[in-house]
């Protein structure tokens, strides 16, 4: 069981990175790009681990796109 006194890795990272003033657009874009990379990596992992569920999700998305009206 992890020690409760040590903050999680993400929490420590966020606290150390938080500037005193407002963040710049470049910092926000960099964090967003990192988030999107990790999200795509997680989706790819899920597709490899659960191929049937991933295929069903792709089929549902394709159906949504076919029935979407502009």
> Does the pTM of the predicted model rise above 0.85?
no
C-alpha to C-alpha distance for 56 and 14, rounded to whole angstroms: 36
Q: How far is CA 30 from CA 25, 40, 67, in A?
A: 9, 15, 35
If you average pLDDT over residues 28-40, what whole number do you get? 96
Q: What is the pLDDT of residues 35-60, one digit of tens each?
A: 999 999 998 998 888 888 888 988 99
Q: Where are the alpha helices (DSSP H) in 1-70?
A: 9-17, 25-49, 51-67
**54 in Cβ contact with 47 (< 8 Å):** yes
Residue pointed to by tokens 């949504």: 64
Q: How far apart are the first and last CA of the chain?
A: 52
């Amino acid at each position: 069981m992890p020690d409760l006194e040590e903050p999680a890795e993400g929490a420590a990272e966020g606290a150390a990175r938080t500037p005193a003033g407002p963040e710049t657009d470049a910092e926000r874009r960099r964090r967003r790009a990192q988030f999107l990379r990790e999200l795509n990596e997680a989706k790819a992992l899920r597709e490899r681990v659960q191929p049937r569920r991933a295929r069903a999700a792709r089929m549902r998305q394709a159906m949504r796109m076919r029935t979407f009206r502009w």
